[in-house]
Structure 1
Amino acid sequence: MKYALFAVAVMAAAACNQPAEKKAGTVEEVKDWHTLSNADSVTPQHLSLDVTVDFEKRQISGRATWTIQPATGASTLHLDTYELTIDSVTVNGNKRDFSLDSATAQLGSRLNIPVDADAKEVAIWYKTGDKATALQWLEPSQTLGKKHPFLYTQSESIYARTWIPCADGPGIRFTYDARVTVPKDLVALMSAENPQQRNDSGVYHFKMEQPVPAYLMALAAGDIAFAAIDQRTGVYAEPSMLQKARHEFEEVGKMVTTAESLYGPYRWGRYDVLVLPPGFPLGGMENPRLTFCTPTIIAGDRSLVSLIAHELAHSWSGNLVTNATWEDFWLNEGFTVYFERRIMEAMMGADYADMLWELGYQDMEETVQSLGADSKDTWLKLDLANRHPDDGLTDIAYEKGAHFLRLIEEKMGRARMDTFLRGYFDGHAFKTMHTAQFLQYLDKHLLKGDTAVNVQAWVYGPGIPANCPRVPQKRFEKVDAERARFLDGTTPATLSTQDWTSHEWLHFLRKMPRPLTPAQMEQLDKTFRFTATGNSEVADQWFIMAVAADYTPAYANMEKFLSEVGRRKFLTPLYTEMMKTPKGQEMARRIFNQYKRNYHPLAQESLGKLVK
């Protein structure tokens, strides 16, 4: 079946109306392949949501009311849905017939609602289906408190349509308000203005005055408490996790101030963080005003909070200036990684940020090797026609994008780069951006015809370009020396590892030959207690090494780790390592089948294919 295609990059910025040149003599069309909506002819301006969360039915139901602006001659509003049941529709308060197209596996069903020139308000009564990918319903046993159920949503990339009938494309922005009803002993939160305490009714009201795309719509409901960090930042978590999380995120307020000093004011009011139960599939999700994050970053020593710096940076890159389509994803994540590392450099020093750059370079190398050095999927500008947008959510967008910006900084100078980025964020606030448009802006306002960066090779070329910057590694050089000493026979207890951060330990383990001998594994474990570590980054790397070496003393803790952690960054490489041997395959399938209910539907799907 052919999919409907719409040029949705025009939704929020008039500058996107014109096609932009990729090279002289060619024109780059700006199409969002992943929405069935027609927001270019019937513009969704505001959403009023009134829904009930039913944990027994595992269903969200209610009414989505869209304020729309039809273009001249528009006769139908098209919206994205995925396995939603549409009960009825009204237009300007009058009942209206509607139709649903046949479903496609990737995009779902297009909802068609007749409208005319005076149509202002379209109300849709609906309920979610059994396979709503955005929703993870947790039993009490899957939470930390063990007493109450929990729900959270994950709408990126095209999963908002599984719980709201909407125009589900990153280039389509709207404001919203919501009324959400949950069981009276639970709290509801959204990516909006939020309550800071439980009420007696179970009815919560929300408002988001800044326009956002559908993938940044988020909802959570559970036994949740709040603790302030400062006047505009705070943390939400299950009560048993709250004070631990509050301690871990002590510097978040300072992070916001640091980010503002780099690239301008924070435009979203409050910045709060919600620590989710362990099954959350991502490190974090940059939902406006309320970052969702995994508890795996709570190590007790604040050593993994660069992830919060990353999600905070999205308040400028991604949330404020948004990629027009998923093919332009690097404009979201590449900028955010660069910004994150500038925040961490300002707070922790250049040698600390350099470790993050090096670990990121290693991730980029591994991704390029996995995808293939000549693969078009290693371009910054992606080709996702007739593919799922999640195919493009790789470290290429993150790390190749960030290193491209780092190179521009090195060539143009940091002062000019910072002036450019401040102007970029200010000039395109609450608008969308596509790749060719950005490159024109970059050349006009910064490069001015300078070819030293070789933009074409970075954006429309494969692999890692030859001029990719590699930062100096003062701290990792010391780690390399200690690793070499260990491999030469020095006992671990005599290694100089005092004051190492998570990043040094991770580099120490990543660069070990694989497999180590069982004796070497035992030596390291007895000295540094890697098997029992509470640091998730270190634990995952250690367990990968344990599988490779068949170091059985680590297996019980590894299984416990896999039963509790749902973050795909950790699950995928660990299950991949197990699948390399017959013994590992048997172990992987047993563990997956036993604990898969604890994983998010997205993780269940990808891991199910891996271990089959």
Structure 2
Amino acid sequence: MRAFVSFLMLPFVFLLAGCGDVVSQDTAQRGKIAPILTSEEAFDDQTFAKPKEARVTHIDLDLAMDFDAKTIGGTATLDVLAADEADSIILDSNGLRVSAVTDEAGNALEFGLGETVEGKGEPLTIELPAQKLEREADLGEGDLAPTHRIVVEYVSAPEAEALQWLSPEQTAGGEHPFIFSQGQAINNRTWIPTQDSPGIRQTWEATISAPEPLNVVMSGVVQGDPKEEGNRRDFRFVMNNPVPPYLIAIAAGNIEFRELGPRSGVWAEPEVIEAAAQEVGDTEEMIDAGIALFGDYRWGRYDMIVLPPAFPYGGMENPVMTFLTPTFIAGDRSNNGLVAHELAHSWSGNLTTYSSWRDGWLNEGVTSYFENRIVEEVYGKERAEQEYALSYAGLVSGIEDAGADNPATAMRSPDGISPFDTKGFAIYDKGTVFLRTVENIIGREKFDAWLTQWFDSHAFEPVTSEMFLADLREKLIGDDAELEERLMLNEWVYGTGLPENAWKPDDAAFAEVDSAVAAYASDATLPDVDAWRGWTAAEQRRFLEELPQELSNEQLSALDTALGLSQTENNEVLFLWLEAALRNEFDPAVPQAERFLARVGRNKFVSPLFSALNDTAWGKPIAQRIYAKTRSSYHAYTRGNVDDTLQYEKPA
């Protein structure tokens, strides 16, 4: 376990006097500045920016989409707050094609792109204007105005990793093209010239031109109806709350809207919209649950878009416009923990955001815990406990596979490894179990009150693990040495493996299923078919996850025949069936796996299935054959993972 105790004693320094003011939704506007941490543990080594010298506070995009060239281009006008002695600002870029930079009056500014660093891009250094901006009249005493404004003229590269351009054939309708972005972690620098770091929060606005009849959505509030410009339309969006740059998101396609309630709605292609609206029909109830648990919802609306299958994640918590994979649609809302998770990010992740990628658990672990609490409120304690048990089992299994002393199993990524190499279960599942453990030791009522004030006290601010622990110690532990010892806080956050005080799930959560698993492991006794059909999706997943690793063709055939695994409409269950089948070289599953991999781009499913194939001499040629057909349909994130697994070499 690494000792970070000394860091807790460091002051949290802000850039220039007055930057520490909390920006609320009521007062957030252009010119209001979000705080930035500059303490040692808040340092983000994934950006070229030097925010202590000069940093972006607001972005105004004026961009046009070109589906033929697969580019987005135009201008980005940046408001910059700079120290008096600063004469330049450093932005993040990765493949941007910058043609000119000027001040607000159109006077040319010197700029230059530095050498490319693999995986990070290149620094874009820009001379600051000689003249400073005048302070805005509506600013109050002690507020700060941006000191400079610069205009960057540019276009993204066709291979920009944040942008996925889909041909009409890759959409449900098959008639119009589609585009969506995925900015997290550091991909937005491939289409927006800014300081791409989670601790440098920025307000933004955008005017986007797209060809008719496409609709455009963004992670900002739409401003009226689109304006017709020949055969194109201009869409206008505003985000007045300062957000980390990775949360600036865009999508465009032949999509339509369904209202779910006074605060929520869903976008999707016409062929998908009815199923999507039915699946997310509990959203208003989830919003109410989130507010009741941990305080006000501060973003106004909560809309969603169900994207084409190429989207690489389950969901992305872009403010006011969550992006969702269509693979969660099961017809019975059994996978709606995904919606609860992305909604929970409206508090943990979007409202309070880690200042560097090493604190990923502060977003995802806290959110996964919050998700489970929403599920409990909306769907009941039994379902919530089952989903917690799945998360706990995933954590235990992940640690066993990685090794309990593996630094990648620490919640806060230690120095010496990339934060992007930290295991997913350490960020999501370990964070969930950690907070469940704290809740049960301290008591739910006290813990809920503390977590609510944590969100309130740090709304629209960057945060760190050290801040989280210091606040917990100050507000809940105090001088109680015995409680401090019982909680094992440092071991959880900085240590590897699973601390011994981890709160175990209720043994009764899967009692019936675990009995069926034991019976099958003993003598291949299949579950009662009627019982299987009555099980929840979580119970079916539990059974499949606990199956023996090695299964014969006869066993696999019997399982599929009796339980209808290959016919299920739940993609989570179908994936587990296909993984077991491919792991055991089951030929009858290959055609279905090929169809599945051709229609789904979600990395959670795609990468493990290709890994299962690649692990055997039987499966290697199958994997290569399928991937040659499907690779171009996957997002860059998914492609990168499978490329590494298959040691794929691009054709010369």
TM-score by length of 1: 0.94
**Structure 1 CA distance for aligned equivalents of residues 424 and 123 of structure 2:** 28
Name the aligned partner's letter for residue 304 of structure 1.
N
Q: Secondary structure at the match of 2:55?
A: strand
Residue 38 of structure 1 deviates from its aligned partner by 2.0
Residues 144 and 10 from structure 1, CA distance in 2 versus in 1: closer, same or farther, beyond 3 angstroms?
Answer: farther
Q: Which residue of 2 aligns with 1:407?
A: 437
The residue correspondences of 1:121-132 to structure 2 (distance < 5 A) are 121-132=149-160
Residues 363 and 420 from structure 1, CA distance in 2 versus in 1: closer, same or farther, beyond 3 angstroms?
Answer: same
Q: Which residue of 2 aligns with 1:147?
A: 175
> Of 378, 402, 425, which residue of structure 2 is paired with 1:347?
378
Name the aligned partner's letter for residue 195 of structure 2.
A
The residue correspondences of 1:375-394 to structure 2 (distance < 5 A) are 375-383=406-414, 387=418, 389-392=419-422, 394=424
Q: Which residue of 1 aligns with 2:245?
A: 214
> Of 437, 440, 451, which residue of structure 2 is paired with 1:421?
451
Name the aligned partner's letter for residue 396 of structure 2.
E
> Of 541, 554, 558, which residue of structure 2 is paired with 1:506?
541
Q: Deviations over 1:263-310 (max 9, x none)?
A: 011100100110000011100000000000100000111100100100
Q: Which residue of 1 aligns with 2:309?
A: 278
> Of 491, 494, 500, which residue of structure 2 is paired with 1:460?
494
Name the aligned partner's letter for residue 119 of structure 2.
Q
Q: Which residue of 2 aligns with 1:30?
A: 42
> Residue 313 in 1 paired to residue 374 in 2?
no
Q: Which residue of 1 aligns with 2:468?
A: 438
Residue 194 of structure 1 deviates from its aligned partner by 3.1
**Structure 1 CA distance for aligned equivalents of residues 13 and 426 of structure 2:** 22
Residue 318 of structure 1 deviates from its aligned partner by 0.4
Q: Which residue of 2 aligns with 1:447?
A: 477
Residues 14 and 443 from structure 1, CA distance in 2 versus in 1: closer, same or farther, beyond 3 angstroms?
Answer: farther
> Is contact 2:88-2:127 (8 Å) kept?
yes
**Structure 2 CA distance for aligned equivalents of residues 239 and 120 of structure 1:** 45
Q: Secondary structure at the match of 1:202?
A: strand
Q: Deviations over 1:416-465 (max 9, x none)?
A: 00000111111110011011122111100112243211112111211111
Q: Which residue of 2 aligns with 1:3?
A: none
**Structure 2 CA distance for aligned equivalents of residues 123 and 173 of structure 1:** 19
Q: Which residue of 1 aligns with 2:79?
A: 67
Residues 10 and 382 from structure 1, CA distance in 2 versus in 1: closer, same or farther, beyond 3 angstroms?
Answer: farther
> Is contact 2:261-2:284 (8 Å) kept?
yes
The residue correspondences of 1:139-288 to structure 2 (distance < 5 A) are 139-194=167-222, 200=228, 201-288=232-319
Name the aligned partner's letter for residue 572 of structure 2.
E
**Structure 2 CA distance for aligned equivalents of residues 495 and 581 of structure 1:** 35
Residue 8 of structure 1 deviates from its aligned partner by 11
Residue 482 of structure 1 deviates from its aligned partner by 2.1
Residues 190 and 289 from structure 1, CA distance in 2 versus in 1: closer, same or farther, beyond 3 angstroms?
Answer: same
Name the aligned partner's letter for residue 227 of structure 1.
R
> Is contact 1:8-1:172 (8 Å) kept?
no
**Structure 2 CA distance for aligned equivalents of residues 166 and 151 of structure 1:** 21
Residue 17 of structure 1 deviates from its aligned partner by 7.6
Residue 184 of structure 1 deviates from its aligned partner by 1.2
Residue 569 of structure 1 deviates from its aligned partner by 0.8
**Structure 2 CA distance for aligned equivalents of residues 561 and 282 of structure 1:** 16
Q: Which residue of 2 aligns with 1:101?
A: 114
Name the aligned partner's letter for residue 469 of structure 1.
W
> Is contact 1:80-1:110 (8 Å) kept?
yes
**Structure 1 CA distance for aligned equivalents of residues 444 and 612 of structure 2:** 41
Name the aligned partner's letter for residue 590 of structure 2.
Y
Residue 609 of structure 1 deviates from its aligned partner by 1.2
> Is contact 1:492-1:523 (8 Å) kept?
no
Residue 474 of structure 1 deviates from its aligned partner by 2.1
Name the aligned partner's letter for residue 611 of structure 2.
T
> Is contact 2:102-2:108 (8 Å) kept?
yes
Residues 377 and 494 from structure 1, CA distance in 2 versus in 1: closer, same or farther, beyond 3 angstroms?
Answer: closer
Number of equivalent positions: 598
Name the aligned partner's letter for residue 61 of structure 2.
L
Residue 494 of structure 1 deviates from its aligned partner by 5.2
Residue 78 of structure 1 deviates from its aligned partner by 0.8
**Structure 1 CA distance for aligned equivalents of residues 536 and 626 of structure 2:** 31
The residue correspondences of 1:34-113 to structure 2 (distance < 5 A) are 34-93=46-105, 94-113=107-126
Residue 222 of structure 1 deviates from its aligned partner by 0.7
Residues 9 and 462 from structure 1, CA distance in 2 versus in 1: closer, same or farther, beyond 3 angstroms?
Answer: farther
Residues 265 and 170 from structure 1, CA distance in 2 versus in 1: closer, same or farther, beyond 3 angstroms?
Answer: same
Residues 65 and 478 from structure 1, CA distance in 2 versus in 1: closer, same or farther, beyond 3 angstroms?
Answer: same
> Is contact 1:517-1:549 (8 Å) kept?
yes
Residues 196 and 229 from structure 1, CA distance in 2 versus in 1: closer, same or farther, beyond 3 angstroms?
Answer: farther
Q: Which runs of 5 or more structure 1 residues have no equivalent in the other structure? A: 1-6, 21-27
**Structure 1 CA distance for aligned equivalents of residues 189 and 396 of structure 2:** 34
Q: Deviations over 1:285-338 (max 9, x none)?
A: 000000001000001111001001000000000000000100111111111001
Name the aligned partner's letter for residue 404 of structure 2.
A
Off by >6 Å, runs of 4+ in structure 1: 14-20, 195-199
Name the aligned partner's letter for residue 337 of structure 1.
S
Q: Deviations over 1:69-109 (max 9, x none)?
A: 21121111110000101100012322112111111112211
RMSD between superposed Cα atoms in Å: 2.0
Residue 371 of structure 1 deviates from its aligned partner by 2.9
Residues 42 and 300 from structure 1, CA distance in 2 versus in 1: closer, same or farther, beyond 3 angstroms?
Answer: same
Residue 493 of structure 1 deviates from its aligned partner by 4.5
> Is contact 2:529-2:563 (8 Å) kept?
no
TM-score by length of 2: 0.88
Q: Which residue of 2 aligns with 1:372?
A: 403
Q: Secondary structure at the match of 1:594?
A: helix
Q: Which runs of 5 or more structure 2 residues have no equivalent in the other structure? A: 1-10, 23-34, 133-146, 648-652
Q: Secondary structure at the match of 1:496?
A: helix
Name the aligned partner's letter for residue 70 of structure 1.
A
Q: Which residue of 2 aligns with 1:24?
A: none
Q: Percent identity?
A: 37
Of 11-20 and 185-194, the range deviating more from structure 2? 11-20
Residues 8 and 140 from structure 1, CA distance in 2 versus in 1: closer, same or farther, beyond 3 angstroms?
Answer: farther
Of 301-310 and 540-549, the range deviating more from structure 2? 540-549
**Structure 1 CA distance for aligned equivalents of residues 49 and 154 of structure 2:** 18
**Structure 2 CA distance for aligned equivalents of residues 351 and 226 of structure 1:** 33
**Structure 2 CA distance for aligned equivalents of residues 521 and 120 of structure 1:** 66
Residues 393 and 311 from structure 1, CA distance in 2 versus in 1: closer, same or farther, beyond 3 angstroms?
Answer: farther
Q: Which residue of 1 aligns with 2:137?
A: none
> Is contact 1:55-1:149 (8 Å) kept?
yes
Residue 495 of structure 1 deviates from its aligned partner by 6.1
> Of 127, 150, 153, which residue of structure 2 is paired with 1:114?
127
Residue 44 of structure 1 deviates from its aligned partner by 1.4
Q: Deviations over 1:168-199 (max 9, x none)?
A: 00011111110000111111110011379877
Q: Which residue of 2 aligns with 1:583?
A: 618
**Structure 2 CA distance for aligned equivalents of residues 171 and 265 of structure 1:** 23
**Structure 2 CA distance for aligned equivalents of residues 596 and 354 of structure 1:** 38
Name the aligned partner's letter for residue 189 of structure 1.
V
Name the aligned partner's letter for residue 478 of structure 1.
E
**Structure 2 CA distance for aligned equivalents of residues 180 and 299 of structure 1:** 34
Of 598-607 and 288-297, the range deviating more from structure 2? 598-607
Q: Which residue of 2 aligns with 1:299?
A: 330
**Structure 2 CA distance for aligned equivalents of residues 494 and 32 of structure 1:** 53
> Is contact 2:268-2:306 (8 Å) kept?
yes
> Is contact 2:14-2:38 (8 Å) kept?
no
Residues 416 and 117 from structure 1, CA distance in 2 versus in 1: closer, same or farther, beyond 3 angstroms?
Answer: farther
Q: Deviations over 1:2-28 (max 9, x none)?
A: xxxxx99846647988887xxxxxxx5
Q: Deviations over 1:204-263 (max 9, x none)?
A: 010111111111010101111000000110000011000110000110111001100000
Q: Deviations over 1:331-363 (max 9, x none)?
A: 111110010000001112222111111111122
**Structure 1 CA distance for aligned equivalents of residues 38 and 118 of structure 2:** 30
> Is contact 1:197-1:225 (8 Å) kept?
no
Q: Secondary structure at the match of 2:618?
A: helix
Name the aligned partner's letter for residue 507 of structure 1.
R
> Is contact 1:132-1:162 (8 Å) kept?
yes
> Is contact 1:384-1:392 (8 Å) kept?
no
Q: Which residue of 2 aligns with 1:542?
A: 577
